[in-house]
Chain A
């Protein structure tokens, strides 16, 4: 089910499957955009909720949109602001009109409606923008809430489409909801598919649900979306999760994990255990780069031993590991993509998993997910 494709956006052509690093506040932690260009990153994320507050719509408009403001010439994707509101705000009340919440900055009452979300996202000017959806935490036990949410999501999509005045410059993606119920998911996907949209996102996951459920729902959601449009699984993530989702038919991913973990001195690698905690004393005399096969500027110029002396102490250490971690994720996606194109994806997955789990004690959920699409791992 894995696919590789070229997605042409106003600011760049993106080759999928693709991982999108997250530059929450209009910047990727300490990284100059040109450095991302050097890694051949074609698209990154920014958060509407944060940017809508600071610097705010007015400044962004005056600055000519976020691309110009932050000096990033390639593509951007913005989320709707909905998720942060629910997760960051202490008091949120969701009504048919929109989301009523208390600003964490000054406690004032704000309302985010589908129309308002589109307005802010248009001021930002991202190549891809997300609808405002009614997102419910996947661990919620109230089935009625999920039912209400997925119907409202469809209604809000229509309001977003109505409010969107620049479909030629910005692509609006709907988000499939429906909690952890396959039927609800299928129905939601069907509804969204009826609208004329350029791509789809699968949301409401990456919360507290267990991994096998997660895979089941991603599979069902992807299966019921048209083949000829991109599928974006929001908030994914760790290496194995990404590859599993690719196997299940997804194309786009985003997660703060690589850049967040860099701040704590953790570097991503392909071999077991998948992450190097560079603060650990075992790296004191390790004069190898993080990854001998990586051509990022960190691996070209610095050793693990050096990074061991500076991580969590000097800000530039965070930049160095972030650059590597983004490079790693992009390389992972490129390897997956090349394998798909050469029709060797199952072999790629088998090797990828073996490198991470040399003792072959693969996580059950992953093994099952791969088996479900006809990929067997090495025993």
Chain B
């Protein structure tokens, strides 16, 4: 994995704070594929598919050189199938020309707490639980052949966790990492994104970061700050700031940082400003699941004068179809949006689809929401390169 930083926001301070700044970069994973501009979102999969989309309909979205995020939890019983298939998990899912990253738990689905064991992690698929140890996980990775992989880790540290739980999670994760890295010895080209744990305990966080940094890994996943799914949408920066920054301060600046979980515009900007490079699309997926569409201002206006702003802190970032006036509205979901849905369909049609519970509703909403979110990432990158990321925090609060 090659990571080149094009630009860093803010003044460079000659202390540990230097690594807690927004960066715009380029990530090269497979030399045969174009680089990924960061900050960037991975395309999160659920149950072996991008929610509501297929290989064909994915083309309606601009997802050139975007990497898939595939949660192991849905594939834990497929080791034998993939072994016979031989072409890897990405190809199995119909996306052989895309890069894929394997993670343990799905950031878009709540992970049940309290089911991990001393040497094994519990993963759920529907109502079925599977228990996997490092060896089982390594066997899977060998046949899944992901371009990027998160080693088996224990991120089960909800806010009310005991100190014992937090320490266990952190230590176990390092042990898993060391065992897992034996695979990297055999395959030096394997890209490892090591999970850094520690719940909300800044001391454990610092230790985890330092220990993990000593290992031969390519990137870091800031894990264990939430339990995934809709509940994680209400995660507030203020609640995790201290342990989060403690982690960042003790990670090498030149390696990419990953954060997986539903990050709405506010949290996303805070995480970017703290120095995270790669995210995922679970947030727009969850918006789609509640039949809503993103409407927040995702454009970056360079040299915007903050004094002209009319910040609305109650501004809704999304809208739904509960307003019956939408029944006859023949305009697009968001004026000026260039996504496939907004170019070809009206609010009235989507209203109809949602109210008669047709599957196409979520297909079209997915296309819009993913496009909206992906566009926001482009704006973020532009803002960082213009060293105006601080303006973006306020621009998202402006009416469209």
A residues with CB within 8 A of B: 25-32, 34-35, 38, 50, 54-55, 58-59, 62-63, 69-71, 284-285, 287, 297-298, 301-303, 305-306, 309-310, 313-320, 323
Residues of B within 8 A of A25 (CB): 352-353, 356, 358
The reply to whether B348 and A320 contact each other, CB–CB distance below 8 Å, is no
CB proximity of B365 to chain A, nearest CB, Å: 12
B residues with CB within 8 A of A: 46-57, 60, 78, 81, 84-85, 92-94, 126, 327-328, 330, 344-346, 348-349, 351-353, 355-356, 358-360, 362-364
| B52 CB contact (under 8 Å) in A50, A54, A55, A315 | A315
Q: Which 3 A-B pairs have the closest CB atoms?
A: A30-B359, A297-B56, A301-B94
The reply to whether A315 and B57 contact each other, CB–CB distance below 8 Å, is no
The reply to whether A32 and B360 contact each other, CB–CB distance below 8 Å, is yes
Residues of A within 8 A of B92 (CB): 303, 305-306
The reply to whether B54 and A316 contact each other, CB–CB distance below 8 Å, is yes
The reply to whether A29 and B348 contact each other, CB–CB distance below 8 Å, is no
The reply to whether A54 and B47 contact each other, CB–CB distance below 8 Å, is no
Complexed CA–CA distance, A306 and B353 (Å): 29
The reply to whether A29 and B363 contact each other, CB–CB distance below 8 Å, is no
Instruction: Tell whether A313 pairs with B126 under 8 Å between CB atoms, given A30-B359, A32-B60, A63-B349.
Output: yes
| A26 CB contact (under 8 Å) in B85, B352, B362 | B352
18 contacts between A and B (CB under 8 A): A28-B360, A29-B358, A30-B359, A38-B56, A55-B352, A59-B348, A297-B55, A298-B54, A301-B94, A302-B94, A303-B85, A309-B48, A314-B46, A315-B51, A316-B50, A318-B359, A319-B52, A323-B56
Residue with the highest number of chain A CB atoms closer than 10 Å, among B46, B50, B345, B363: B363
Complexed CA–CA distance, A302 and B91 (Å): 9
The reply to whether A59 and B85 contact each other, CB–CB distance below 8 Å, is no
The reply to whether B360 and A31 contact each other, CB–CB distance below 8 Å, is yes
Complexed CA–CA distance, A201 and B290 (Å): 42
CB proximity of B191 to chain A, nearest CB, Å: 24
| B363 CB contact (under 8 Å) in A63, A298, A319 | A319
Closest residue on chain B to residue A287 by CB atoms: B85
The reply to whether A314 and B49 contact each other, CB–CB distance below 8 Å, is yes
Instruction: Tell whether A306 pairs with B363 under 8 Å between CB atoms, given A35-B56, A59-B352, A314-B46.
Output: no
Residues of A within 8 A of B363 (CB): 30, 32, 319
Residues of B within 8 A of A34 (CB): 60
Complexed CA–CA distance, A63 and B352 (Å): 12
Complexed CA–CA distance, A55 and B353 (Å): 9
Residues of B within 8 A of A309 (CB): 48, 78, 81
The reply to whether B360 and A27 contact each other, CB–CB distance below 8 Å, is yes
The reply to whether B360 and A69 contact each other, CB–CB distance below 8 Å, is no
Residues of A within 8 A of B48 (CB): 306, 309-310, 314
| A54 CB contact (under 8 Å) in B55, B60, B356 | B356
| B94 CB contact (under 8 Å) in A50, A306, A315 | A306
| B328 CB contact (under 8 Å) in A62, A314, A318 | A62
